[in-house]
Amino acid sequence: MEKHFKRTLITTALPYANGPVHIGHLAGVYVPADIYARYLRMKGEEVLMIGGSDEHGVPITLRAKREGVTPQDVVDHYHGIIKKSFEEFGISFDIYSRTTSAIHRQTASEFFRTLYDKGEFIEKTSEQYYDEEAKQFLADRYITGTCPHCGNEKAYGDQCEACGTSLSPTELINPKSAISGSQPVMRETKHWYLPLDKWEPFLRHWILDEHKEWNSNEYGQWRSW
Domains detected in the chain: 1-103 (3.40.50.620), 122-191 (2.170.220.10)
pLDDT of 72 reads 95
Report the distance separating Cα 150 and Cα 165, nearest Å. 9
Q: According to the model, what pLDDT value does residue 41 have?
A: 96
Q: Residue 116: what pLDDT? A: 95
- ∠122-125-129 over CA atoms, to 5°? 130
Nearest to 103 by CA among 59, 29, 34, 52: 52
In this prediction, residue 3 carries a pLDDT of 65
Q: What pLDDT, on the 0 to 100 scale, is given for residue 219? A: 81
Mention every residue, 6+ apart, whose C-beta is less than 8 A from residue 18: 59, 60, 62, 63, 74, 75, 78
Fill in the amino acid letter for 79: H
pLDDT at 19: 93
Q: What is the mean pLDDT of each run of 10 residues along the chain (225 residues)?
A: 78 94 92 96 96 92 90 96 96 96 95 96 94 92 94 93 91 93 94 90 88 81 79
The reported pLDDT for the residue numbered 30 is: 97
Could you give the C-alpha distances from 10 to 64, 100, 153, 223, 224, in angstroms and in order? 31, 21, 41, 23, 24
